[in-house]
Chain A
């Protein structure tokens, strides 16, 4: 016997019949105006989503509030970001950079797609992701073919590539970090750092 035995009673559903037989009606109050008032009303949906602040290696937890219903293909938008009070790292606090994340998300100068400025050109222009990936891969291959060192003077095998480096992101999972390391090191790249140290 529980105070309110959910398993026996089932879950609670509000409607005309339920309210007509409720405490409210039994005490002589009329639930009908409440039911009638609701007719033009609608349910509006917001979501709260956990994420990690992208700035540094402290990896503070944040809660992002958004409106709109993604499940119905409606446009959604982040309306507020604050420190996650349940996160063991920051317990709801944020530094000034983290506290300004909403402005970062909405910044008109935020980079949203690859931009390219060729040698001697005056301005950046928008390029496709495929073009950018192709371009990076080509340059990496050219540089690696030209500068890869497989052996040093005394004949010791080293297989290193010193002329290109990589700066990785901070807010990554262990799995992402593992894969990043494997990809970069397997090409012989030695200069490898993480944005988290900024």
Chain B
């Protein structure tokens, strides 16, 4: 029975509330993502794409080590943001410093040697040829979702550089200085939308708490489970996964398979809301400790396709997968 963990007797009655934010760990965040993508790639229908994304994550990890010193908001600015319930590193007021162009250059340099389709190399080369102003304009278009049809190939490189810029700032923040925000639909650190939910406790905490994961600064923030992350409804929430057998899904399995259905079930489900007809993926780390919100999201495109066909709209995209006009 996996109804919970065994709690030491001195802790009974003293279980602490969960931390509101978990800031990213720069040492592991990108390299673990790369390892995850490399693990998911073999035999996957989009193997080439996942391998490319694994290489890009590795490039991020490498580039991190050669990043020049950046700028951070001071204690007064962080306190003011907290007072106003605004994110401390709000991406709406994007100004940037020397960090992100350096990150982009480094990523483009490393990616030059990576085996990839001609179109991916062409997108890389044309991005490398842009001058500072053109790049800044491209970032603005990316952040405001106005990338032209011919520019979508640049999106993963730009996203990778912006992730480095924001993730490092987020990692250097003091979690105690970050205020708890009432608005849980956006990242409390940078204001970005969540790319997915993960269900898992902090290190050494086996509780199945839900954390929303920011696609930009990699911060995770706590939100209660069984609740729509877009409209806040607790009614009409369901969890959908892909049934590859194509068998009837209404028939429950034999009784004795119940535990398997829970513990051996899919790692990734779509948390759908019938009130606002949206979904966001939710990853159960208890089933696979290596699950990564960005990597596992990219590797479960079939779930997006089926959820879309069922009439659910995704609330926010993966930063690396910008869709064309529909």
Q: Which residues in A have some Cβ–Cβ distance to B below 8 Å?
A: 1-6, 8-15, 17-29, 31, 33-35, 37-38, 40-50, 63, 65, 67-69, 72, 74-86, 88, 90-94, 98-103, 106
Name the residue on A nearest B192 (C-beta).
Answer: A3
Per-position binary interface string of chain B over residues 194-214, scored 1 when its CB falls under 8 Å from any chain A CB and 0 otherwise: 000000010000011110000
Contact of B321 among A3, A22, A69 (CB under 8 A): A22
11 contacts between A and B (CB under 8 A): A12-B323, A14-B304, A14-B314, A21-B323, A23-B321, A29-B52, A48-B225, A63-B225, A80-B263, A82-B2, A99-B1
- CB atoms of A12 and B310 under 8 A apart: no
Q: Which residues in B have some Cβ–Cβ distance to A below 8 Å?
A: 1-5, 7, 12, 15-18, 45-46, 48-49, 52, 91-92, 94, 116-120, 123, 140, 143-145, 149, 152-153, 155-156, 190-193, 201, 207-210, 215-216, 224-226, 237-244, 246-247, 249-253, 255, 258-259, 261-263, 265, 269-270, 278, 301-302, 304-310, 313-317, 319-326
How many inter-chain residue pairs (CB < 8 Å) link A and B?
A: 262
Chain A residues with CB below 8 A from B307, complex form: 14, 43
Expressed in whole angstroms, the Cα–Cα distance for A160 and B116 within the complex equals 87
Contact of A82 among B3, B119, B255 (CB under 8 A): B3
Chain A residues with CB below 8 A from B153, complex form: 23, 26-27
CB distance from B124 to the nearest CB of A (A): 9
Known A1-B92, A37-B302; further 9 A-B contacts with Cβ < 8 A? A2-B191, A4-B319, A6-B316, A33-B45, A43-B270, A49-B226, A68-B252, A91-B16, A91-B207
Q: Contacts A28-B118, A46-B238, A92-B208; is A22 near B324 (CB within 8 Å)? A: yes
Of A8, A77, A103, which is in contact with the most chain B CB atoms at under 10 Å from its CB?
A: A77
- CB atoms of A26 and B216 under 8 A apart: no
Expressed in whole angstroms, the Cα–Cα distance for A132 and B124 within the complex equals 78
- CB atoms of B250 and A34 under 8 A apart: no
CB distance from A29 to the nearest CB of B (A): 4
- CB atoms of A69 and B250 under 8 A apart: yes
Chain B residues with CB below 8 A from A23, complex form: 152-153, 155-156, 320-322
- CB atoms of A19 and B323 under 8 A apart: yes
Expressed in whole angstroms, the Cα–Cα distance for A33 and B43 within the complex equals 12
- CB atoms of B258 and A92 under 8 A apart: no
